[in-house]
């Protein structure tokens, strides 16, 4: 398959090298276009008020891989690749492997998920891969599963235009309990800002906080209750796959507002 791979951890991140090399070694046609530095938590930002530069990168990836480092956001990288750098569209857009989970409402801030979302916006099925640890450096189990999933999709493509948000527990391959389709949970934080004083006596704030994973999604979203929640299954060493779309229309909200009457005269 022809694959475009990006990330938000930057061109030097071990996660993207492991993913891209594994897929190239499996015989896929791999192109990498990713940020030239870490751009985590940039969401779906685009660069509009300055030029975007991309440079060819050599000697980092498998010899068959074509790679560019871009000074834009993750979404910039995918958009630039699809509209300017590639000679034809890829079969899949992949993002990752991210260092750290992208679960629940974190996906709204995630550059990893946004890079994959950009592919879906352009009509290409996409997958975001994340390793659920900020400390573990062994990306091989995640890359192994990514290879299995891509090979599965080569035989049986994703049945509809969607993004698969995949989170792999940070354990050895033998410790992975299985794979589960999940629904998006909710991740909220406490003690979000740490107030500090700099050497000049000025106050500043550092975004921090602890995750509250046990928060349930609102019932009004009409999500299938029999489907497990992403933040729960990874705790039990299951790989979580959550199908996402970019249309944020709240269908229940349309029903609840249907009796609103406006008179502008």
Strand 92-99 versus strand 2-6 pairing type: parallel
pLDDT confidence tier of residue 41, bands split at 50, 70 and 90 = confident
Average pLDDT over residues 165-188: 93
pLDDT confidence tier of residue 221, bands split at 50, 70 and 90 = low
**Does 99 score more than 70 pLDDT?**
yes
pLDDT at 114: 94
| 8 labeled binding residue | yes
**Does 250 score more than 90 pLDDT?**
no
Strand 210-212 versus strand 126-131 pairing type: unpaired
Identify which has the larger pLDDT, 48 or 175. 175
Lowest mean pLDDT among 128-132, 164-168, 229-233: 229-233
Greatest extent of the chain over all pairs of C-alpha atoms, in Å: 68
Average pLDDT over residues 212-225: 64
Range among 2-16, 27-41, 47-61 rated most confident: 2-16
| 40 labeled binding residue | yes
* Residue-by-residue DSSP string for 72-103: S-HHHHHHHIIIII-SS--SEEEEEEEES---
**Does 262 score more than 90 pLDDT?**
no
Identify which has the larger pLDDT, 248 or 93. 93
pLDDT at 105: 85
**Does 214 score more than 70 pLDDT?**
no
Domain 2-183+225-245 in CATH: superfamily? Survival protein SurE-like phosphatase/nucleotidase (3.40.1210.10)
**Does 220 score more than 80 pLDDT?**
no
pLDDT at 127: 98
Average pLDDT, the chain: 90
Return the structure tokens found at 195.
Answer: 């107030």
Lowest mean pLDDT among 21-25, 108-112, 165-169, 174-178: 108-112
For the purposes of burial, counting CB atoms within 10 Å of the CB of 32, is it exposed (0-12), middle (13-18) or buried (19 or more)? buried
* Residue-by-residue DSSP string for 201-219: S-EEEEE--EEETTPPPPG
| 98 labeled binding residue | yes
φ, ψ (nearest 5 deg) of residue 191: 50, 55
| 9 labeled binding residue | yes
pLDDT at 248: 82
Strand 193-197 versus strand 203-207 pairing type: antiparallel
């Amino acid at each position: 398959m022809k694959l475009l791979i990006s990330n938000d951890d930057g061109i030097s991140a071990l996660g993207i090298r492991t993913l891209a090399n594994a897929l190239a070694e499996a015989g896929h046609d791999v192109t990498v276009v990713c940020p030239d530095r870490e751009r985590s938590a940039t969401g779906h930002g685009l660069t509009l008020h300055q030029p975007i530069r991309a440079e060819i990168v050599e000697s980092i990836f498998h010899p068959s891989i074509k790679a560019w480092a871009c000074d834009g956001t993750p979404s910039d990288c995918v958009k630039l690749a699809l509209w300017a750098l590639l000679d034809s569209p890829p079969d899949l857009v992949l993002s990752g492997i991210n260092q750290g989970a992208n679960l629940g409402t974190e996906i709204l801030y995630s550059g990893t998920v946004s890079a994959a979302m950009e592919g879906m916006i352009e009509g290409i099925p996409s997958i975001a891969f994340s390793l659920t640890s900020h400390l573990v450096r062994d990306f091989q189990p995640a890359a192994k599963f990514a290879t299995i999933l891509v090979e599965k999709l080569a035989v049986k493509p994703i049945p509809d235009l969607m993004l698969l948000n995949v989170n792999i527990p940070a354990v050895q391959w033998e410790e992975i309990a299985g794979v589960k389709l999940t629904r998006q949970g909710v991740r909220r934080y406490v003690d979000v800002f740490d107030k500090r004083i700099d050497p000049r006596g000025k106050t500043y704030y550092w975004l921090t906080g602890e995750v509250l994973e046990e928060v349930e999604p609102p019932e009004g979203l009409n999500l299938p209750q029999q489907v497990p929640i992403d933040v729960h299954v990874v705790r039990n060493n299951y790989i979580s796959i959550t199908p996402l779309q970019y249309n944020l229309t709240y269908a229940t909200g349309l029903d609840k507002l249907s009796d609103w009457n406006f008179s502008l005269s």
